[in-house]
Structure 1
Amino acid sequence: MTHPIPAFGLGTFRLKDQVVIDSVRNGLDLGYRLIDTAQIYGNEAEVGQAIAESGVPRAELFITTKIWTDNLAGDKLVASLKDSLVKLRTDHVDLTLIHWPSPGGAVPVAEFMGALAEAKAQGLTRLIGVSNFNIALLREAISAVGASEIATNQIELHPYLQNRKLVTFAHSQGIHTTSYMTLAYGQVLKDPVVKDIARELGATAAQVVLAWAMQLGHAVIPSSTKRENLQSNLLSTRLRLSDDQMARIAALDKGGRMVNPEGLAPVWD
């Protein structure tokens, strides 16, 4: 069975205004069909504009957004998602994620997961999931709505931070992993091991790392403002690494976390 979440998509983190419009327009033109945004990115309206102007039929697209922590309360979540839909110019998104767990546990997991399930029941989103959850939080989310309802956990994951314990637990529950920051802000592109494998495959370092993550079964959502990079990244979907090449990248793990915002991040596994 193919997973309901496409393996390859376009991220829009840190992209604003005309920059995000151009990135999404170029991505859709090149063949990207998953677009990942979030309430806190402040670009949902621009993403919606780019999608509307692209002429790509809505049925061909997979749109993901994420609920910000200010909107996690049971009486706020559904209304905030409806606001997002207006900005995105669509009557539903394909996937809605809890962006970060509630700071200090202010809103219980059962409350916001229940509200997210209600959003799905209302047809506002096809799938629901979480982002930046550790094992303990995933267990709570599973208790609230059932593992089969949680489509993915979107986490920082790259060769320097492979999160095997968390991924293994999620996998054991049938929960898919989406990798963000797959290129580690570009740091892994300079890695000698990655560069060697790129030479062996006649590929770019970025293509190698994206293909590595997809070959592990993860979805990836790299972003770029340059059309040529968007086009190049897309070619990673055709690349296959050998078992030896996969093992060499596996050996690069050093717990190198880059995203750990104080007050937001849980205690990582």
Structure 2
Amino acid sequence: MTIPTRELNDGHSIPQLGYGVFKVDPADTERVVSEALEIGYRHIDTAAIYGNEEGVGAAIAKSGIPRDELFITTKLWNDRHDGDEPDAAIDESLEKLGLDRVDLYLVHWPTPAHDNHVHAWEKLIGIRERGLATSIGVSNFLVPQLEDIVAATGVTPAVDQIELHPAYQQRDVTDWADAHGVLIEAWGPLGQGKYDLFGAPAIAAAAEATGKSPAQVVLRWHLQRGTIVFPKSVRAERLRENMDLFDFSLSDEQMAAITAIDPGDGSGRVGTHPHDLN
């Protein structure tokens, strides 16, 4: 199976479907990432704060997969924005991953109360220039923070990884991203089980019509919108199901009905608001 890729604004490409290890127990990470790689995933998304970079690295080392066939993302945590801390943080992440570079390095949250997101972004630019990250981007940045970093540096992030699912689509952020060539990555693409997406009539109807599960329908909705998505699971059968997305498509009517689930008032958010995580 060939997973589609999208071109980043720096000329590199990124697999549109990957595997995320948010809340994967560090003791289980090597096993589940190894299973994901065996199934065919090549894009792995981790972060320093997850505490499981070593497990990701161990699975990569055991896999025997050539490095240029893998796409590895990790992230700078909130307490490492100041001074030279970002430089130390990427060195620590690379050591844990057993890599000499990551394909994508992200500022994990903007932490607006500390007002140091511009400095963190400047340091990521330097990290990219030194070859420790092929591409750089941000996560959980809203439009004001995106505008701040671009105005200060002239460098536009390759991606913004945000909470995104049918009930919460952050259209102001996605519109800005579309206008500036920034790709959107969705975390919590299935609502993290906190929002009953699968009971939504539009999703249930599409699942019945296509013979797919509601989860597969939602993931297909993301893919057809151009979103990069990496659902998390620790079960091999679910890992396979989450990859079985390329033998069907949703009609324009089905896409529109699922898109209409979001009331547009922010009530579908299931994670922390970026203004509140500092």
The aligned counterpart of 1:214 is 223
2: CA distance, partners of 1:18 / 1:56: 22
SS of alignment partner, residue 148 of structure 2: helix
SS of residue matched to 1:133: coil
One of 251, 257, 260 as aligned partner of 2:272: 260
Q: How many residues align?
A: 264
Say whether the 8 Å CA contact 2:21–2:232 is kept in structure 1.
Answer: yes
Kept after mapping to 2: 8 A contact 1:159/1:250: yes
Contact preservation (8 Å) 2:6, 2:16: no
Q: Percent identity?
A: 41
Which secondary structure state, in structure 1, belongs to the residue aligned with residue 122 of structure 2?
Answer: helix
Corresponding position of 2:145: 137
Map 1:2-13 onto structure 2 (within 5 A). Answer: 2-3=6-7, 4-13=13-22
Counterpart of 1:185 in structure 2 is: 192
Counterpart amino acid of 1:174? G
Alignment correspondent of 1:166? 173
User: What TM-score comes out, normalization by structure 2 length?
Assistant: 0.90
User: Where do residues 107-126 of structure 1 align in structure 2 (5 Å cutoff)?
Assistant: 107=116, 109-126=117-134
Question: What are the ranges of 5 or more consecutive residues in structure 2 without an aligned counterpart?
Answer: 8-12
Distance 1:223 1:241 in 2: 22
Tell me which amino acid in the other structure corresponds to 1:164. R
- Quote how far apart the aligned CAs of 1:199 are: 1.0
Residues 157 and 180 in structure 1, CA contact (< 8 A), matched pair in contact too: yes
| Equivalent position of 2:25 in the other structure | 16
Distance 1:177 1:192 in 2: 26
Deviates more, 1:24-33 or 1:96-105: 96-105
Which of these residues, 198, 204, 211, is aligned with residue 202 of structure 1? Answer: 211
Which region of structure 1 is more displaced relative to structure 2, 151-160 or 138-147?
Answer: 138-147
Q: Normalization by structure 1: what TM-score?
A: 0.93
Counterparts of 2:275 and 2:180, CA distance in 1: 28
- The 3-state SS of whatever aligns with 1:210 is helix
Shift of 1:163: 1.1
Cα–Cα, structure 1 residues 127 and 262, in superposed 2: closer, same or farther, change >3 Å?
closer
**Do 2:198 and 2:215's aligned partners in 1 also have CA atoms closer than 8 Å?**
yes
- Partners of 1:48 and 1:264 in 2: how far apart? 31
